[in-house]
């Protein structure tokens, strides 16, 4: 049996790692979205994670991207535990769980279902949306601090690191934008401009207002989808008292909620 202090530190590390996994479309941590219903370090040090999405018909590519992120997060745990990750109440739960457990790639898990899906293109699409959402929050925060558009667009990484915000969206997104910037433009120097388009082009000072309007539209769409996902999940499981082994609300929901033509807006 591991000491209580060691056990606590492992639990903290487990949830921290899981909190680094984002819903790929919403760019919000899966822990904050409520998708991780249970994450435990058991007596022998192994880890068990139960995962549940807002609807029975959530797109399988979203499910896989998140669960693959969970798997990678668990592989980074300092004590290298054995682990079990299980998706509940999803139309492809059996295929996903079997494939995830075997360490298979998306195409291997879904076979013909994934035949025409370019997973890397999908990741890039979501990466662009996340970059824009994070950037908008920081740009708006800097404007609210009284900086001119010219001053903002002239900032480099050193200036961004020195910027301080009151608690709020800008403060939350500043380190996340920095991480996205460094990942997207790995060859950039510390003194290079830190605010660029997703393609790496400079943002003209005179068009920053219009550029921000485009970013705002992306954020609003992501926030709407996030609220929708939270609401669907809460409605679906507000009466559910167990994770496994008992009847779920899938039949209840399927009887009362029509399946939409698209799983996400």
Summarize pLDDT for 26-52 with one digit per residue, the tens. 899 999 988 999 999 998 999 999 999
Instruction: Compute the distance between CA of residue 22 and CA of residue 65 in angstroms, rounded to an integer.
Output: 9
Tell whether 231 is covered by a domain: no
In a domain, residue 193? The reply is yes
Asked if 26 and 93 sit in the same domain, the reply is yes
With respect to residue 236, please indicate whether it lies within any of the assigned structural domains: no
Please identify, among 117, 135, 153, the residue that sits at the C-terminal boundary of a domain. 117
Question: In this structure, are 132 and 201 located in the same domain?
Answer: yes
Average of per-residue pLDDT across 102-121: 70
pLDDT of residue 4: 63
Q: Are residues 111 and 63 in the same domain?
A: yes
The Cα 165–Cα 69 span in angstroms is 30
Rounded CA-CA distance 44/47 in Å is 9
What are the backbone dihedrals phi and psi of residue 120, each rounded to the nearest 5 degrees, phi first? -70, -35
For residue 156, the model assigns a pLDDT of 97
CATH of residue 24's domain is: 3.30.300.130
Identify which has the larger pLDDT, 155 or 97: 155
Last residue of a domain, one of 66, 86, 117: 117
Are residues 44 and 132 located together in one domain of the fold?
no
**Distant-in-sequence, close-in-space partners of 139: CB < 8 Å, separation ≥ 6:** 152, 195, 208, 212, 215
- Partners of 49 in beta bridges: 39, 85
Give the whole-angstrom CA distance, residue 65 versus residue 8.
28
Q: Which domain holds residue 11?
A: 4-117
pLDDT in tens, 187-221: 899 999 999 999 999 999 999 999 999 999 999 99
Q: Is the domain of 92 the same as that of 172?
A: no
The total domain count for the chain is: 2
Report yes or no on 133 lying in a domain: yes
Q: Is the same domain home to 63 and 124?
A: no
pLDDT value at 237 more than 70: no
Residue 112 shares a structural domain with residue 73: yes
The domain boundary, picked from 202, 221, 240, lies at: 221
Report phi then psi at 52, rounded to 5. -145, 135
**Residue at 254 is within a domain:** no
- Residue 254 has a pLDDT of 35
142 lies in some domain: yes
Residues 9 and 93 in one domain: yes
Strands (DSSP E) along the chain, which ranges?
A: 22-23, 28-29, 36-41, 47-52, 83-88
Q: Looking at the predicted structure, is the pLDDT value of residue 96 above 90?
A: no
Are residues 11 and 105 located together in one domain of the fold?
Answer: yes
Average pLDDT, the chain: 85
Q: Is 36 helix (H, G, I), strand (E, B) or coil?
A: strand
> What is d(CA 29, CA 26) in angstroms, rounded to the nearest whole number?
9
Residue 129 has pLDDT above 60, yes or no: yes
Shared domain check, 190 and 89 = no
Q: Are residues 50 and 105 in the same domain?
A: yes
Per-residue pLDDT, 54: 87
Q: How far apart are CA 12 and CA 78, in angstroms?
A: 12
- SS3 label, residue 265: coil
> Do 100 and 139 fall into the same domain?
no
On whether residue 264 sits in a domain, the answer given is no
Q: How confident is the model at residue 2 (pLDDT cuts 50, 70, 90)?
A: low
Q: Counting beta carbons within 10 angstroms of the beta carbon of residue 29, is it exposed (0 to 12), middle (13 to 18) or buried (19 or more)?
A: middle
């Amino acid at each position: 049996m591991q000491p209580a202090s060691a056990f606590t530190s492992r639990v903290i590390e487990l949830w921290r790692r899981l909190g680094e996994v984002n819903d790929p479309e919403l760019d919000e941590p899966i822990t904050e979205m409520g998708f991780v219903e249970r994450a435990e370090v058991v007596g022998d040090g192994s880890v068990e994670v139960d995962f549940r999405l807002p609807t029975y018909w959530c797109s399988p590519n979203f499910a896989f991207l998140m669960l693959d992120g969970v798997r990678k997060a668990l592989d980074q745990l300092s004590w290298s535990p054995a682990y079990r990750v299980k998706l509940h109440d999803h139309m492809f739960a059996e295929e996903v769980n079997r494939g995830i457990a075997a360490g298979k790639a998306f195409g291997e898990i879904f076979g013909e279902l994934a035949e025409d899906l370019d997973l890397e293109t999908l990741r890039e699409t979501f990466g662009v949306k996340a970059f824009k959402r994070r950037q908008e929050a920081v740009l708006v925060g800097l404007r609210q601090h009284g900086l001119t558009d010219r001053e903002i667009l002239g900032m480099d990484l050193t200036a961004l690191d020195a910027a301080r915000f009151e608690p709020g969206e800008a403060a939350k997104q500043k380190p996340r934008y920095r991480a996205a910037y460094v990942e997207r433009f790995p060859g950039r120097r510390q003194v290079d401009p830190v605010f660029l388009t997703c393609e790496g082009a400079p943002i003209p000072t005179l068009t920053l207002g219009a550029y921000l309007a485009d970013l705002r539209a992306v954020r609003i769409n992501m926030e709407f989808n996030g609220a929708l996902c939270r609401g669907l999940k809460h409605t679906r499981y507000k009466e559910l008292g167990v994770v496994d082994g008992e009847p779920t609300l899938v039949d209840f929901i399927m009887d009362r909620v029509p399946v939409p033509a698209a799983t996400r807006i």
